[in-house]
């Protein structure tokens, strides 16, 4: 995590690269927070991914029935798009962006996701983009909801309506990190509700979060939205976190 000094520098001098700190880098499309070298690190060549959960799989592996990470799980969403796996530069950038005073780095990561995965995102012709709402404890300690920032950026770039009020939290789940991977699906059950369910009948919805680990939260969101009549629910996240207890 960045020191308070660097966080303040980000706020005062947004042209400084949010990952390596290089000053006066060329600001590209969308007020990008990262220098060209860091953008290259943040957007590696896409690998073969599981169609169901976006985990990286072998170059010739098929994933129609899911991969070793997701095969045993009931996932209610139809597919997942991500910028990359949660490691290296992307992990570092995501952590720094999440705890930054400024939402600019998070917005830039959203812009990279929209650009790098444009074909997959345009292909599905979504009707609405819906971010996962924050846990109440996260609201107390963070300056913004990363999922809402990424969702807004995707919405602008794909020209789709972003709906931050559709999903709301209705029960106090424990933070996902504090429960075992197996308990995460139970922990999320009944935690979300659709605020105005009648408006989404027949819609193709893109659910947005910052990361996807077990998929429990996004699966619960898809379950709620499909029960309200959504035709399909796909997921877009910045990074796919592998859980090794799969």
Q: How far is the CB of 122 from Zn ion (least distance, A)?
A: 23
Closest CA to 77 of 240, 229, 206, 228: 206
Please, which residue, 38 or 152, has the CB nearer to Zn ion? 38
Count other C-beta atoms under 10 Å from residue 59's C-beta. Answer: 7
Q: How far apart are CA 89 and CA 163, in angstroms?
A: 30
Please, which residue, 35 or 132, has the CB nearer to Zn ion? 35
Closest CA to 239 of 57, 62, 95: 95
Please, which residue, 1 or 227, has the CB nearer to Zn ion? 1
Count other C-beta atoms under 10 Å from residue 165's C-beta. Answer: 10
Q: Which of 10, 32, 33, 35 contacts Zn ion by CB under 5 A? A: 35
Half-sphere exposure of 44 (CA within 13 A, CB side): 15
Instruction: Based on the shown chain and the rule CB under 5 A, indicate whether residue 38 belongs to the binding site for Zn ion.
Output: yes
Q: Please, which of residues 62-121 interact with Zn ion by CB under 5 A?
A: 66-67, 69-70
Look up tokens 């796996």; give the residue.
Answer: 85
Please, which residue, 113 or 212, has the CB nearer to Zn ion? 212
Q: How far is the CB of 152 from Zn ion (least distance, A)?
A: 24
Q: Which of 2, 16, 49, 52 contacts Zn ion by CB under 5 A? A: 52
Three-state secondary-structure class, residue 49: strand
> Which residues are at the interface with Zn ion (CB under 5 A)?
17, 19-20, 22, 35, 38, 50, 52-53, 55, 66-67, 69-70
């Amino acid at each position: 995590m960045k020191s308070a000094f660097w966080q303040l520098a980000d706020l005062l001098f947004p042209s400084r690269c949010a990952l390596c700190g290089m000053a006066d880098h060329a600001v590209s499309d969308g007020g990008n927070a990262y220098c060209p070298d860091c953008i290259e690190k943040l957007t590696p060549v896409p690998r073969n991914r599981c169609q169901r959960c976006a985990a990286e799989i072998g170059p010739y592996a098929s994933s129609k029935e899911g991969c070793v990470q997701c095969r045993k799980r009931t996932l209610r969403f139809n597919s997942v798009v991500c910028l990359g796996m949660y490691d290296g530069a992307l992990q570092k950038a995501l952590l720094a962006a999440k705890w930054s005073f400024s939402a600019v780095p998070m917005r830039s990561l959203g812009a990279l996701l929209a650009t790098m995965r444009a074909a997959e995102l345009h292909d599905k012709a979504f009707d609405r983009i819906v971010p996962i709402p924050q846990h109440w404890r996260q609201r107390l300690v963070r300056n913004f909801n990363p999922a809402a920032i990424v969702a807004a950026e995707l919405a602008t770039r794909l020209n789709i309506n972003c709906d931050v009020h559709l999903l709301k939290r209705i029960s106090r789940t424990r933070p996902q990190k504090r429960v075992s991977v197996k308990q995460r699906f139970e922990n999320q059950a009944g935690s979300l509700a659709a605020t105005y369910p009648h408006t989404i009948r027949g819609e193709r919805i893109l659910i947005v979060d910052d990361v996807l680990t077990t998929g429990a939260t996004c699966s619960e969101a898809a379950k709620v939205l499909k029960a309200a009549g959504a035709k399909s629910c796909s997921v877009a996240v910045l990074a796919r976190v592998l859980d090794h207890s799969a």
